[in-house]
Amino acid sequence: MDGVSPRATLVSLFGVLAAVVAIGFLVPIPSPAAVRDWAAAAGWATPALFLLAYSVLAAFPIPRTVFNLSAGLLLGEALGVAVGMVATGVAGSLAFAAARRFGRRWTSPLLEHGAIKAVDARLRAGGFAGVVSLRLIPVVPFAPVNYCCGLSTIGYRPYLWGTLIGSLPGTAAAVVLGDALTGTTPPALLAVYGVLAVAGGIGLYRALKRVDPELVETA
């Protein structure tokens, strides 16, 4: 069968691009206020369905910021933060449980490596404070931390409480931004993220320093 020529492929791509641009001009884009009104008109179904979607999808490597901004837009500040935090706990627990139940079996040979065992010892020793510090740093992705903690030997309780407390400031900031929906990131929000990053880095360093050197040497 003859292959598609590069020219035909290029023409097709331009056609698709032109169609998308045309739709963007012809189809009216609802304002944030209109979206909020539609969400409010659906009643309890909006927070319930959003909570379900957030809880399931955030267990995968999808940035939580997208969900938190949407929570602010659809639900407002107070309800948005509440739903966001519940979903964060559920999603974190699902990813943690999956990694611990299935991931350790698949990665057990790697977990016996000396360097990996040393990292595990530091994470376990850091415990609650270490998880809080990781969650405070905005650039540290949510899902990979869930998986790493699940693969490690850290306890579920310090992991969960560290996740909830450490995720609260960033979640609240993103929800408030979604509620305001100014179209630009306010300088104040950037300052909040900067403070969180510094606090998280300092906290993580101090938590990891508390690890007993013997744990690393014997790992």
Instruction: Give the start-to-end residue ranges of the domains of the chain.
Output: 31-217
Q: What is the pLDDT of residues 45-98, one digit of tens each?
A: 889 999 999 999 999 988 898 899 889 888 888 899 999 999 999 999 999 999
Q: 140-153 b/e with 16+ CB inside 10 Å = b? A: bebbebbbbbbbbe
Q: How many CB atoms lie within 10 A of CB 13?
A: 10
Which phi and psi angles does 158 have, rounded to 5°?
Answer: -60, -35
Q: What is the pLDDT of residues 155-212, one digit of tens each?
A: 899 999 999 998 998 888 888 888 876 444 556 665 666 676 666 666 656 655 554 4
Angstrom distances, CA of residue 4 to CA of 9, 14, 64: 7, 15, 40
> Which pLDDT belongs to residue 87?
96
Task: Choose among 91, 71, 67: nearest CA to 81.
Answer: 71
Using a 10 angstrom Cβ sphere, with 0-12 exposed, 13-18 middle and 19 or more buried, the burial of residue 4 is exposed
DSSP H or E stretch at residue 31 = none
> Which pLDDT belongs to residue 151?
84
